[in-house]
Chains A and B, each alone.
Chain A
Amino acid sequence: MKSRVLVVTSGKGGVGKTTTTANLGTALAMMGKKVVLLDTDIGLRNLDVVMGLENRIVFDIVDVVNAKCKLKQALIRDKRFDGLCLLPAAQTKDKSAVTPHQMKNLTNELRSDYDYILVDCPAGIEQGFRNAIAGADNAIVVATPEVSSVRDADRIVGLLEAAGLNKSRLIINRLRSKMVKRGDMMNIEDIIDILSIDLLGVVPEDEVIVISTNRGEPAVMDNTSRAGAAYRRIARRITGEDVPMFTLDDTNNFLDRFKKLLKLAK
């Protein structure tokens, strides 16, 4: 199988890049794929804690590019899943510790051993962003249904295109179906219409994300999590499977479904 480098980016901070990277990577590994997660947020690393691997860090991405250690030594193998690894960011350096050229070499080296290389991009459009996209084949843009996030996503799509990454796909994160239904949140069509890029998936707002991050266990491991289920579907879509899109009704909670059942019974 040809290996793919996917960068997860958004422009704006706090919209769920790291959560998305962790969940998609874990979901792909659960499907039997060989996956490496690359944290490029040097100075503000977090993918390690979201994955629950923070206690096992010895070397980091800066050590690797400076040849302080071998690539294999820095990779943290996730014992819960075969074929899932994390390359953590450095916490004490800044974004200039790595160059786009070094990132390209690094991702190319990883291609021979992994099916998917998921790059967690830092917020912003400066060097951290340029590093993260340097070796990528495609980009996954994460946005929440808010004016500020969609605006930044539009800027990011423009910068990605300028860098030759043309087939970016969008994940709409933290969609609240109740707010959409009463017209207080932009819906999927509104956002797609504005950004005019392809939709990769929709992830509903879900408290389980907070709990799973507390524990360091990605939500895709929790069968009760609606966000986890959405991420598993997106992972299947990434592998080329044709999975129907999330609709608003999928996000109904138990009570809503119960009410509907009563209405049907009448």
Chain B
Amino acid sequence: MLDIINRIFFRDNGRSKEVARERLRLVLIHDRASVSPNFLNELKEELIRVIREYMDIDEESLVVNFENEEESVALVANIPIRGFRRAANE
């Protein structure tokens, strides 16, 4: 609410640091991820290992990537499922 009031009354003077902070946050997610090329691969392998315990997935077509949204960066994983493992009753 305060933010909205701020935006209406102080549209052009001040608060540019919020813009700076937000832009930095997003750019650093990309920087840090792209700096280590192994990061996504390791994450992908770890994901496969975990998900495989619950369902049968198509490991070859699995895609993990960062996607830019309006105000956020999302980790998007597209994991084709071949079938569910039969739940063992406990």
Q: A residues touching B (Cβ–Cβ < 8 Å)?
A: 146-147, 150-151, 154-155, 158, 180, 182-187, 190, 194
Query: A183 contacts B32, CB within 8 Å?
Result: no
Query: A194 contacts B25, CB within 8 Å?
Result: yes
* Interchain CA distance A151-B25 in the complex, whole Å: 9
For A155, the chain B residues whose CB sits under 8 A away are 31, 35
* Interchain CA distance A151-B35 in the complex, whole Å: 13
Given A183-B16, A184-B17, A187-B17: A158 touches B35 (CB 8 Å cut-off):
yes
Grouping DSSP codes into helix (H, G, I), strand (E, B) and loop, the B interface class, with mixed when no group exceeds half, is helix
Q: B residues touching A (Cβ–Cβ < 8 Å)?
A: 13-18, 20-21, 23-25, 27-28, 31-32, 35
Query: B14 contacts A184, CB within 8 Å?
Result: yes
Query: B25 contacts A154, CB within 8 Å?
Result: no
For B13, the chain A residues whose CB sits under 8 A away are 182
Query: B20 contacts A147, CB within 8 Å?
Result: yes
Contact of B21 among A154, A158, A180, A194 (CB under 8 A): A194
Given A150-B24, A190-B21, A194-B21: A183 touches B14 (CB 8 Å cut-off):
yes
A182 — nearest CB in chain B belongs to which residue?
B14
For A186, the chain B residues whose CB sits under 8 A away are 17, 20-21
Query: B20 contacts A158, CB within 8 Å?
Result: no
For B16, the chain A residues whose CB sits under 8 A away are 183-184
Given A158-B32, A158-B35: A151 touches B17 (CB 8 Å cut-off):
no
B36 — nearest CB in chain A belongs to which residue?
A158
Query: B32 contacts A154, CB within 8 Å?
Result: yes
For A147, the chain B residues whose CB sits under 8 A away are 20, 23-24, 27
